[in-house]
A and B are shown apart, each in its own frame.
Chain A
Amino acid sequence: MLLRWWKNTWPYRELFFFLAWRDVKIRYRQTVLGAAWAVLQPLVTMLIFTVLFGRMAKVPSEGIPYPLFSYSGLLLWTYFSVALSGGAGALVGSSELIRKVYFPREALPAAPILAALVDLGVGMILLVGLMLYYHASFTWHLLFLPLLVLELLLFVMAVSLALAAVNVKYRDVKHALPFVIQLWMFLSPVIYPTNMVPERYRFLLALNPLTGIIETWRACIFPGRNMPWSLLEVSIGMTVLIFFLGASYFKSAERAFADVI
């Protein structure tokens, strides 16, 4: 089955690229600030959070300067939320294409997810800037970051495949998604560290693959901390499981896309 999927999809590999390229081209066209928006969004959020949670609420950040702590989390989070809202709406947004042309449908949700990587890359520049500013040390641990991004990509793709397919039939997804994304942020260790949560509830948090990804991400940037191996293991396991479920739901729903959309 996998082989057949590959044979079908491989000839269209350039389409994935072209659709992502289209999204990148269009995103900041007719804007004054252009790609600066990719930095501005997490930066402003980081500043607000630093004041609100870092200064006023005094959320602990385990010795890491709070701006750097929250920005490193927000960078991944922004990628996740932008990619997910793009991916989940991708099929419905291209209904005309689905009704008129055949191509592997997964290219549609994949495009915004790949395109958002550009924003992530731009945002990384500021992360490096902040690291320099706070005299963080650059170690070989940073080599893990691309792998973590890969896992994040896989996870966003998994959730997007499922939601995009559901959205074709039930447009409720469109209304629920912004709300879900907002809640999801508070359920992920973006603005607080995991160990702030009581020990017995931590396993619940761990079931959210983002927990492992963000915690490991921070541990790589601030090598003084212990690597949260168990969190990462659960996270990878969940990602693979959810990817399998999301992809198989997508494939089974796919046949009806053109008829229902």
Chain B
Amino acid sequence: MPHAIAAEHLTKQYTIGQMAHETMIRDALAKLVRRPFGRRNPKDDTTILALSDVSFAVEPGGVVGIIGRNGAGKSTLLKILSRITWPTSGTVDIRGRVASLLEVGTGFHEELTGRENIYLNGSILGMKKREIDARLDEIIDFAGIGRFLDTPIKRYSSGMRLRLGFAVAAHLQTEVLLVDEVLAVGDFEFQEKCLSKLENLHQSGRTVLFISHNVAAIEHLCPRTIWIDQGRVRQDGETKNVIRDYLAHFSGSLRTGSNLADIQERKGTGEIRYTGIEFLDVAGHLKPVVRSGDELTIRLRYNAARSLHNAEFGMELHTDKGTHVASICTSVSGWRVPYLSAGEGYVEVALEGLNLMPGRYSISLWASGPTRKGWDVLPHCKTLDIEPSDFFNTGKGVDGGFGLVLLPCRWGLHVDSEPAVAMSDAQGAEK
């Protein structure tokens, strides 16, 4: 099978003991004198297995995301693939020229001008002078440093430096590109620029391996994702599935349903009791992960002690900081339950587009009769973790720093002297 990248049984072991001691000749000599014929004392060597038996292959033109927590081995993997470090065992086979971007602007020299640094940095990243010559204008344009081109970069702002670094890297013309978290830096506008550049890259048929914490960015760019956990490939497959399981693993919300029957802290007269709550997707399957923008159906199981007339069901949503976000109930929504027979059953409420910021929420439930007399009241009986998503279909994750809710929106621009610009749907094609 033809491949662009093939990694087989990659294992990388770091010896902590070796790095901590013995970096002075004195120590090495002392050790030699102490035990001239002995083997290394195994107690001195605390080893860490950064990668363990990692295998995968990427076909030419494939764009693959790699996710995993800090310290899971993602960066070690990238360093091995880009030949910065060697695996303890295992092999890597990469067809074509490789460029790796572990950091932008590596190798910049303060005293050199922007133009000189473009050439220096470009050649460090493996570009030929001819290639840099050909793309110089594009690079300068992308970095937006025009007027400062012949100024030493020690006079540059950190933002300019960053833009210049990315501009050089983005114009690498290699068959294989390995990218690490470059989006984690820079301002919003810059991230936007990087992202659209990365998008162009893979449209040009190049093989890209993209490492990020940013689930939204991976989802936006990569059809396939590999999840690295504790140095091993935990899952490798369609991004949608991998990310769902990855998020589920950390939020611990795989418990998609919960039993409410045994909760003691409840009020109400007991004509009806909630017995369970479940989160479902559109198709009616249990939903392990709930993400911003998702359609969510909440199923409330109950047990009615006797047949009831004009029952009302409702719930409240609070943030983990206690802010009351929303209330929904049957009567306000205009939905009536004139008659309910005794025994078990469930009510469902479908939320079309859960436009809440990622975070932890709590759900409180109540049920009552026509006189608003509480039959069953369960304060904060279930937590709902909402995970980040590519809500605006731009690849940018959003978090609580942006407020409480996500508002689907369309923007327009009108300049008095010009014809109107068409409104664009900011929530993207899938909605």
Chain A residues at the B interface, C-beta cutoff of 8 Å: 11-12, 14-15, 17-19, 22, 25-26, 29-30, 94, 96-103, 169-172, 255-256, 258-260
Contacts and interface: CB of A to CB of B under 8 A. Distances in A.
Interface stretch (B123-131, B292-300, B355-363): B123-131
Given A26-B109, A258-B79, A260-B19, A102 B128 contact: no
Given A29-B111, A100-B103, A171-B23, A258 B84 contact: yes
B116 A25 contact: yes
A101 B112 contact: no
Interface in B90-147: 97-98, 100, 102-103, 106-107, 109, 111-112, 116, 119-120, 123-126, 128-129
Contacts, number: 79
B82 interface: yes
Contact of B124 (A25, A99, A103, A256): A103
Contact of A97 (B14, B98, B100, B107): B107
B180 to A, nearest CB: 9
Nearest to A103: B124
A123 to B, nearest CB: 24
A236 B129 CA distance: 35
A171 B124 contact: no
B40 interface: no
B25 interface: yes
B100 A102 contact: yes
Contacts of B82: 101-102
Contacts of B97: 11
A54 B308 CA distance: 120
Given A11-B126, A101-B84, 7 more contacts: A15-B126, A22-B112, A101-B124, A170-B25, A172-B26, A258-B84, A258-B85
A259 B85 contact: yes
Contacts of B123: 12, 14-15, 17-19
Nearest to A26: B111
Contacts of B109: 22, 26
5 contacts: A22-B112, A100-B103, A103-B124, A172-B26, A258-B79
Contacts of A260: 19, 23
B421 interface: no
Chain B: number of interface residues, binned into ranges: 20 to 34
B85 A18 contact: no
Contacts of A98: 84
Contact of B128 (A14, A26, A169): A14
Nearest to A102: B83
B429 interface: no
B84 A99 contact: yes
Nearest to B85: A258
Given A15-B123, A255-B86, A96 B106 contact: yes
A26 to B, nearest CB: 5
A125 to B, nearest CB: 26
B28 interface: yes
Contacts of B25: 170, 172
Nearest to B152: A29
Contact of A100 (B24, B84, B128): B84
A25 B120 CA distance: 12
A170 B19 CA distance: 11
A81 to B, nearest CB: 22
Contact of B23 (A22, A99, A169): A169
A15 B123 CA distance: 5
A258 B269 CA distance: 69
A258 B82 CA distance: 12
A101 B100 contact: yes
B102 A12 contact: no
A110 B86 CA distance: 23
Nearest to B19: A260
Contacts of A15: 123-124, 126
